[in-house]
Structure 1
């Protein structure tokens, strides 16, 4: 049965690209969309930054027709600021507005935004209600199980958020205190999904890094879809690989070295176009290790890619990798 957020049809078992700061930008989203992502979210946007018209926050509003359906994610700790932000975001015409109640980083959470609001559930519910009432767009939420081991109230929170009008919920199976350590607890995510009061789609997030795991978690935890974050960094192929495995039980052939270089180069060039050479060269560094993961004797090339600050030097290194792969000097 198709999963829907209001009238947005996401197919039978949608795969979502998680919003990731300095990762889920338009160049990266373009590659994930081409490789099978069903719904994508922008990097999270600071409500205070957007209201102040801060350049970085405003730039994150850039969305493109080919990305649809696309959600813009916002975060903040002040209800009135979040209401104003919702009005600004709605004017850019995304398909969905998503609220970030999950970011665990100190500078966000310790100001009461992101996962910080998990320490004040009544405020979380009140803020959500205000945002839902401000916009005609569907509102979704991404959050965590709780602030720490003693505050895993997510089942009750899910009901309360649904009651004030959210239309889908993505849950990362860790507490804020865990950050990204340990193993994600999907039992609580399944508890939300199997709660007879819950009518909205429930998407699970955390630790899905292979087609096998996606299929196993789909069967075991009964979620409506899966949100993929870290496993997609430098590896946008994961979406189609999971879809193929869900459908056939078989693996797609892995991308060749030439495929990897081709996508890395496209990613780099789109980044240069969107954010300028200096930022693009710097921010691409987090992707290279994953683009070329598992290739034997690759260390010297990896060092070149992550230490170079010169765009032409990076291009030359990528060309050299393809040339050496064609000669059989680098193999998977």
Structure 2
């Protein structure tokens, strides 16, 4: 059975790339798509920023044909502003709109947005209804189990949001008070998936970091698909590795140094194309340690990579990385 969101066919068991602030921009999304992500989302975008026409918020609306299907994710605390932001974002022609009711960070949650709405389900329902009515696109939601251990109300949230028209729900298996600590608990996600009232796809999120865990949790929690976030940072191969394991029961060999360099180059080139050389090179610096995590004695190369100023110098250093490790492994 294919998973459908509106008229979007996501295949039998889709793997989604989570929207991550300062991470899931178009260059990063490009390398994840190349490695098997079935659907992706923009970084979350402030409704206030869109309405004010803030440059940073507007830039996050940039989407490219190769990314489809892609959703634009928005957040905010004011229902009218969320409605207006939905109309603005719809003009960017994504495949769907997503509402963030899961972000736990203080700057968002303490301003009445993100996970904060888990404390006011009536307002969450009214806001969701306003967004659904403001666009012709399918609307989906990402949220958490609840605000804290005493208010795990996502079962009610799922039913009520489905009733006002959302077409898929992603649940992160932690409460807001947990932030990203402790282990994600998917038991409530399974209960929602098995609720006979729920007809929309339910996606699980939190702690999927290996093919065997993805396969085990797919069986145990019976979700319609999985959203992967932090495990894809510096390791976009996780999507293809999970899919290979699902299909064959075997592990794909980890990426070679040459493959790591190729993906790093592609990410750099997309970053420079999108943001210009100065910003593109600067913003890539945070990714090098992730791409080469676990590679012995990489520190010296990393120190050079984060200090050079031109695209040519970065490419020369990446050539050196391939030559150096090829010689060692020969």
Q: TM-score range by the shorter chain?
A: over 0.9
Alignment of 1:34-73 (within 5 A): 34-73=34-73
Q: Which runs of no fewer than 5 residues in structure 2 stay unpaired? A: none
TM-score, normalization: structure 1?
Answer: 0.96
Describe the SS at the equivalent of 1:214: helix
* 1:26 equivalent in structure 2: 26
Q: Which residue of 2 aligns with 1:296?
A: 296
Note the aligned Cα RMSD (angstroms). Answer: 1.4
Whole-Å separation in 1 of the counterparts to 2:164 and 2:210 = 35
Mapping 1:204-215, distance limit 5 Å:
204-215=204-215
Residue in 2 that maps onto 1:87: 87
Which region of structure 1 is more displaced relative to structure 2, 318-327 or 219-228? 318-327
Alpha carbons of 1:310 and 1:175: their partners in 2 closer, same or farther (altered >3 Å)?
same
Q: How does 1:228-243 map to 2 (within 5 A)?
A: 228-243=228-243
CA distance in 1, matches of 2:77, 2:278: 32
1:107 matched residue in structure 2:
107
CA-to-aligned-CA distance 1:59-117 (integer Å, 9 cap, x gap): 11111111111101111111000000111111111110000111111111110111111
Match of 1:223 in 2: 223
- CA distance in 2: counterparts of 1:289 and 1:155, whole angstroms: 39
1:272 positional shift? 1.3
Q: Could you say which residue in structure 2 is the equivalent of 1:8?
A: 8
Residue 299 of structure 1 and its aligned partner are, at CA, apart by: 2.5
Alignment of 1:112-123 (within 5 A): 112-123=112-123
Per-residue CA deviation, residues 116-171 of structure 1 (Å, 9 max, x unaligned), is 11121111111001111111110000011111111110111110110110000001
Q: Is the 8 A contact 1:27 1:267 kept in 2?
A: yes
Q: Give the 5 Å matches for 1:235-314.
A: 235-305=235-305, 307-308=306-307, 310-312=309-311, 313-314=313-314
Give 1:310 shift. Answer: 2.0
Q: Which runs of 5+ in 1 are unaligned?
A: none
**Secondary structure, aligned partner of 2:287:** helix
Deviation at 1:276, TM superposition (A): 2.5
CA distance in 2, matches of 1:278, 1:147: 41
User: 1:22–1:283: 8 Å Cα contact kept in structure 2?
Assistant: no
Q: Distance in 2 between matches of 1:81 and 1:210?
A: 39
2:139 aligned residue = 139
Aligned to 1:180: 180
Q: Which secondary structure does the structure 2 equivalent of 1:16 belong to?
A: strand
Would the alpha carbon gap of residues 215 and 322 (structure 1) be closer, same or farther in structure 2, given more than 3 Å must change? same
Partners in 1 of 2:88 and 2:119 — Cα distance?
27
Q: Give me the whole-angstrom Cα distance separating, in 2, the residues matched to 1:235 and 1:52.
A: 35
Q: How has the CA–CA distance of structure 1 residues 105 and 309 changed in structure 2, closer, same or farther, with 3 Å as cutoff?
A: farther
Residue 199 of structure 2 corresponds to residue 192 of structure 1: no
Indicate conservation of the 8 Å contact 1:308/1:314, yes or no: no
Cα deviations by residue, 1:183-206 (Å, 9 ceiling, x for unpaired): 001111111111111100000000
What's the offset of the Cα at 1:309? Answer: 5.5
C-alpha distance in structure 2 between counterparts of 1:11 and 1:102, whole Å: 25
Give a deviation string over 1:203-253, Cα, whole Å, max 9, x none. 000000110110000000000000000011111111111011001101112
